[in-house]
Amino acid sequence: MERTVTIVPEAGLHARPASKFVQTAGEYDADVTIEKIGGDGSPKNAASMLSVTSLNAAHGDEVRLVAEGDDAEAALDALEEILSTPEASEDGESGDGTSEADGDEE
């Protein structure tokens, strides 16, 4: 079972969205892989923070999710939901977020 999803969160598959994605992938029995379309082509373990982060998938990129196992469909639904939900820019790791907190907005 597979599905192609466009990444909506502004942060891409980093920071909080990545964290949520990996955690969710780990909650299902199904083995899920993720692959960036137009990337190096090899599917990566969706339950691995390392693999998911190293995809370096940005907002607007397309990814292919492949799931195998009893709850494959439920897993894909949950993961698609995360990738399709916009998230306000909130991560304190980006340069912009930082400078904003510093008061150099003007």
Partner 1 sequence: MRRTETRSDPTVSERTLSGIGVTPLSGVGTVVWYRPDEALELDDPPRQSEVDAEAERERFEDARDAAREELEAERERARERVGDEEAAVFDAHLQFLDDPEIESAVDAELEEGLSAEHAVSEGFAGPIEQFEAMEGRMAERADDLRDIRDRLVRLLVGGERTDLSALPEGSVVFAERLTPSDTAQLDPEIVSGFVTATGGRTSHAAIFARSLALPAVVGVGDDLFAVEEGTDVVVDGDTGDVTLNPTEETRAAAADSDRAEVRSDPVATSDGKPIEVAANVGQPAELEGATEQGADGIGLYRTEFLFLERESPPDEEEQYETYVEALDAFPEGRVVVRTLDVGGDKPIPYLELPEEENPFLGDRGIRRSLGVDADLFETQLRALLRAAADGAGDLAVMIPMVATVEEFESARETLDSVAADLDSEAVDYEIPEFGLMIETPSAAFMADEFAARAEFLSIGTNDLTQYVMAASRGNERVSELHDPQHPAVLRAIARTVDGAEGTDAWVGMCGEMAGDPELTELLVGLSLDELSMSAVTIPDVKANVSETDRESAEKLAKRTLQASTKRDVERLLDGDAEN
Residues that bind partner 1 (CB under 8 A): 10, 14-16, 19, 22-23, 45, 47-51, 53-54, 56, 86-96, 98-106
> Using CA atoms, how far apart are residues 44 and 95, in angstroms rounded to an integer?
28
Q: How far is the CB of 28 from partner 1 (least distance, A)?
A: 14
Q: Is 22 exposed, middle or buried (0-12, 13-18, 19+ CB in 10 A)?
A: buried
Q: Which are the catalytic amino acids?
A: 14
Q: How far is the CB of 34 from partner 1 (least distance, A)?
A: 12
Tally of CB atoms within 10 A around 42: 9
